[in-house]
Amino acid sequence: MKQLKIIFAIFSLVLLSCNTTSTVSESQENQLTQQKKNQKSGIVLYKSRADESRNKQSKKEFYFRMNEKEYFIKISEGYVSEEVLLKNIDKQINVKGEVKNGKWEFDTPGSILNQTETIKGRSGEYFVIYKILSK
């Protein structure tokens, strides 16, 4: 009877350790899936846009072209500087980043621009780059 209890205890430990390993593997698999999901490939663009307050082409901005679509790059939310982006203009790069939806910039009060109306900040989908993986 004592041998049966020992065998049962060993069998139980083996089963429990298998379950734990399975849980760790699932967790690692979820992390890998999330990392792959955040890996994107595209081209950095640097384009002029009309400055609404002065009605002329004056401001240049960064965009990320991915899957035939261009996304404004919101530098303030990412970890990649403007200098690094300038070095990668018109190059195909792999990045860790994501598409988000929200405000690209703040509203500008008209009083700052000597105008009567506030200029609304742009909003919609934009891209955040956390890290450049390879060129």
The domain limits of the chain are: 40-134
Per-residue model confidence (pLDDT) at position 110? 53
| pLDDT for the residue numbered 38 | 84
Question: In this structure, what token pair is assigned to residue 129?
Answer: 């780059």
The sign of the dihedral angle between the CA atoms of 32, 37, 42, 46 is: negative
Predicted local distance difference test score (pLDDT) of residue 23: 55
Looking at every residue in the chain, the average pLDDT score rounds to: 79
pTM, two decimals, is 0.65
The reported pLDDT for the residue numbered 10 is 75
What pLDDT score was predicted for residue 121? 76
> What Å distances lie between residue 24 and 21, 27, 30, CA to CA?
5, 5, 10
Residue 75 CA to residue 38 CA, distance in Å, equals 17
| Below-50 pLDDT ranges, the chain | 20
